Amino acid sequence: MHLTLLSIDWLLLIEKCVLILIIISVSLVIAMYETWAERKVAAFMQDRRGPNRAGFGGLLQPMADGLKLFMKEEIIPTSSSKFLFVLGPGMAMLTAMMTSAVIPWSSHFHLFGRDVSMQIADVNIGILYIFGVVSMGVYGIMIGGWASNNKFSLLAAIRGASQIISYELAMGLAIIALLMITGTLSLGKMVEQQQEHGLYNFVVQPLGFLIFLVCAFAECNRTPFDLSEAENELNFGYHQEYSSMKLGFYLFAEYINMFISSALMASLYFGGFDIPFVNDAAFGAHFGQNPLAILQVVSLFGKIVLFIFFFMWVRWTIPRFRYDQLMNLGWKVLIPLALFNMLATGFIVLLKAHGWHF
Q: Are strands 114-117 and 108-111 parallel, antiparallel or unpaired?
A: antiparallel
In whole angstroms, how far apart are CA 279 and each of 197, 274, 283, 292, 300? Answer: 10, 9, 6, 11, 15
Minimum CB distance to another protein, residue 178 (Å):
21
End-to-end CA, the chain: 59
207 binds another protein (CB under 8 A): no
What character string, x for contact with another protein (CB under 8 A) and - otherwise, covers 295-324? ------------------xx-xxx------
Angle at 94 between CA 151 and CA 294, to 5 degrees: 135
Smallest gap from residue 334 Cβ to another protein (A): 12
Q: Is 56 in the site for another protein (CB under 8 A)?
A: no
Task: Single out the segment in contact with another protein by CB under 8 A; choices: 29-37, 47-55, 126-134, 161-169.
Answer: 47-55
From residue 14, give the alpha-carbon distance in Å to each of 19, 101, 110, 178: 9, 15, 15, 34
Q: Which is nearer to another protein, 47 or 73 (CB)?
A: 47
Stretch that binds another protein, among 24-32, 37-45, 82-90, 173-181 (CB under 8 A): 37-45
Helices (H), the chain: 2-7, 10-45, 61-71, 82-98, 126-147, 151-182, 187-197, 201-204, 206-219, 231-234, 244-269, 280-287, 289-315, 323-327, 335-353
Residue 48 interacts with another protein (CB under 8 A): yes or no = yes
Mark 247-276 with x for binding to another protein (rule: CB under 8 A) and - for no binding: ------------------------------
Helical (H) or strand (E) element with 75: none
Cβ closest to another protein, residue 40 vs residue 303: 40
Residue nearer to another protein on the CB measure, 109 or 212: 212
Task: Decide: helix, strand or coil at residue 232.
Answer: helix
Stretch near another protein under the rule CB under 8 A, chosen from 44-52, 58-66, 78-86, 282-290: 44-52
- DSSP category for residue 319: P
Give CA–CA dist 166/115, Å, rounded: 41
52 forms part of the interface with another protein (CB under 8 A): yes
Report the residue number, 166 or 195, with the smaller CB distance to another protein.
Answer: 166
Residue 21 has a CB neighbour count (10 Å cut-off) of 10
User: Residue 248 CA to chain centroid, in angstroms?
Assistant: 18
Judged by CB, which is closer to another protein: 52, or 279?
Answer: 52
Return the number of the residue (131 or 316) whose C-beta is nearest another protein: 316
- Near another protein by CB under 8 A: residue from 47, 354, 356, 358: 47
Give the residues lining the site for another protein (CB under 8 A): 41, 44-49, 52, 313-314, 316-318
